[in-house]
Structure 1
Amino acid sequence: MSNGTHLARAPHVIMGHMYSFHGIDISETAEDVYLTLVERGPMAPAELASVLRVTSHAMSAAVGELTGLGLVGPDGARLVAHPPRAALDVVVESRTKELAELRNGVEELSRFWRDHHIDGVSYIEIARTEVARRALVRRLYDEAAEQLRCLTIGFTGRSAQPNSLAPGFREALTRGVRCSVVYGAEVLRDRPGREGVQTSIDLGERARVFPGIPLNMGICDDRFALVCPPASNWGRRHHILVQRSDLLEALIGVFDSFWQIAVPLPTAVDTANDIGATATAENRQLLTYLSGGLTDDSIARELGVSERTVARRITRLQEVLGAQTRFQLGVQASRRGWL
């Protein structure tokens, strides 16, 4: 974690038309099952498994996914595909509500930051000196026994230090602590930040990126959280320690919401897909820069190639994965496991 506290498969082609499941979180087998039922009509699960050449266990799991979304239902001993719009409109509405709740949560937290000089609250501790701030950061990593969940926008404001690995981070991973971090896209626009993120991933961190991360925050197991809101002057920032309380539960919920909507960042393990394209280290690096919001010109300088070459590589990846936009490219990359 920087101190500052997947590509999906190509669309299906049926009768000359391309069909994909952008943004629908189901397995490839479930996609195959649904499209086969639409194309061929009602079929028994055993017959479907034979046609798709999958095991009965994989078929049962896929049917469970589709049934849960309302896309498939029983028709006697057979399965039938339901029209997608009515079923998936419910999913869209649910995700819209989740985003609205996330925004409301961030607003509530923002009001809290503006009113952080609260007296008489036993579960809150505010560190205003550099010594106290460093001690709290070290405590976050030293006391973690099971998991660390973090949001980070890195160092901000005047006199900010270069982004680097937090003290105690390596040791926490060595102890087997699971570390999950959502980075603000601005961290990936900074070379030291990108290098620190990649080092963290190589050490075993699970990392994702989202452009709207509002602050630095670390949650130690379910015991306490360390929050550092942005400050115009880095030297005058505050670290806020939140012990077990309703506020801590709210902070955990905020992290979980960001984790769900953030885009995974690539690991060091190369993955091949089933159509001959491979998730090379170069492709992963390119996708990481895209996730961070770098322009083609900036990416070209980082890779040491021309801007035209960058555009050509992006276009090629879009063609391979059937993505019409760069956003869809990131989604497809994440679902295939390249990110």
Structure 2
Amino acid sequence: MRSVADVVEVVLDEVAVRDRVQRMMRNARREFLALVTPPFRVIAVEDAGRTPVHVSGANRTVYDRRVLEVPGIAELMRLHAQPGEDWRVHERVPMKLIVVDREIAVLSAVQADIGPPATMVVHRSSLLEALVGYFQFVWSEAVPLPFRQAPAGDHTSILPPEDQRLLALMLAGLPDRAIATHLGIGHRSVQRRVRQLMDLAGVSTRAQLGWQAHKHGWLTEDDDKAS
């Protein structure tokens, strides 16, 4: 019979946690699932938008909306996006979680701003299956982000990249001023471009614009295939 120690390890040392996470990301082959939320004490914020590039199956990450409010992070995510990645954003992601190949998971047990970060490493078990199930639930409630690289020759969206990024940030729930900061444009320019997109879609509200954007494939393709 397996003991609790065979299923769950508790790691307190920040360096050990960082090394474990990086090793898991390097070793991911079939599937990579992650929930990303502040604060970024063990993994730097600039590394939060990076996922393994050699995963043959699902490569899915859900970001807390507050991550996108970090100046420059949205552009950094866009620059590091790789084909096959699927990213979504949720209003509030309650914990940090990484699951690799459904063989092993790492999750934070204590908020890092309260005290020394305690991290649990969970091996294959019913607990690991429950964590995968929880990830699937959060994923189903999250909004797609179109920062990933489209496959070569994919020209399905009629929108230029800057308008796709604007829509993504708007659907992620960022206020107009935060969107303006991310895109390096003025607040009024954001409002004007949103109005132009609404006119293009033939709608009168931003909620309707988001629905039409998904309907017409203005963001990314196949966002719902992995749900």
Q: TM range, normalised to the smaller chain?
A: 0.7 to 0.9
Aligned counterparts, 1:14-25, within 5 A: none
> Does structure 1 residue 223 correspond to structure 2 residue 103?
yes
CA contact (8 A) 2:17 2:42 kept: no
Q: Deviations over 1:224-275 (max 9, x none)?
A: 11112562528711221111122111111111112222221114447456xx
CA contact (8 A) 1:216 1:228 kept: yes
Q: Equivalent residue of 2:46, what SS?
A: coil
> Does structure 1 residue 152 correspond to structure 2 residue 7?
no
Structure 2 alignment gaps of length 5 or more: 220-227
Cα distance in 1 for partners of 2:122, 2:202 equals 45
CA contact (8 A) 1:150 1:182 kept: yes
Cα distance in 2 for partners of 1:234, 1:181 equals 25
Return the structure number with greater relative CO, CA threshold 8 A, min gap 6. Answer: 1
Aligned counterparts, 1:72-83, within 5 A: none
- Structure 1 residue 300: Cα displacement: 2.6
Q: Equivalent residue for 2:194?
A: 314
Q: Equivalent residue for 1:165?
A: 47
Q: Equivalent residue for 1:243?
A: 123
Counting aligned pairs with the same residue, the percent is: 31
Q: Equivalent residue of 2:179, what SS?
A: helix
Aligned counterparts, 1:1-339, within 5 A: 120-156=4-40, 162-165=44-47, 172-174=52-54, 176=56, 178-202=58-82, 204-229=84-109, 231-233=111-113, 236-266=116-146, 267-269=148-150, 271-272=155-156, 278-339=158-219
- Structure 1 residue 323: Cα displacement: 4.0
1:316 and 1:161, CA in 2 relative to 1: closer, same or farther beyond 3 A?
A: same
1:222 and 1:304, CA in 2 relative to 1: closer, same or farther beyond 3 A?
A: closer
TM-score by length of 2: 0.79
Q: Equivalent residue of 2:106, what SS?
A: strand
Letter in 2 for 1:148: F
Cα distance in 1 for partners of 2:186, 2:108 equals 39
TM-score by length of 1: 0.55
Letter in 2 for 1:194: A
Letter in 2 for 1:124: V
- Structure 1 residue 283: Cα displacement: 0.6
Cα distance in 2 for partners of 1:336, 1:151 equals 28
1:324 and 1:212, CA in 2 relative to 1: closer, same or farther beyond 3 A?
A: farther
1:153 and 1:230, CA in 2 relative to 1: closer, same or farther beyond 3 A?
A: farther
Q: Deviations over 1:301-334 (max 9, x none)?
A: 4434332221121122123224443233223323
Q: Equivalent residue for 1:84?
A: none
Q: Equivalent residue of 2:67, what SS?
A: helix
Cα distance in 2 for partners of 1:227, 1:130 equals 13
- Structure 1 residue 120: Cα displacement: 4.3
Superposition CA RMSD, Å: 2.9
Letter in 1 for 2:20: L
Q: Equivalent residue of 1:191, what SS?
A: coil
As a proportion of its length, which structure holds more helix? 1
CA contact (8 A) 1:263 1:330 kept: no
CA contact (8 A) 2:31 2:55 kept: no
Q: Equivalent residue of 1:329, what SS?
A: helix
Q: Equivalent residue of 2:94, what SS?
A: coil
CA contact (8 A) 1:186 1:292 kept: no
Q: Equivalent residue of 2:81, what SS?
A: helix
Q: Equivalent residue for 2:224?
A: none
1:302 and 1:199, CA in 2 relative to 1: closer, same or farther beyond 3 A?
A: closer
Cα distance in 1 for partners of 2:6, 2:31 equals 24
Cα distance in 1 for partners of 2:137, 2:201 equals 27
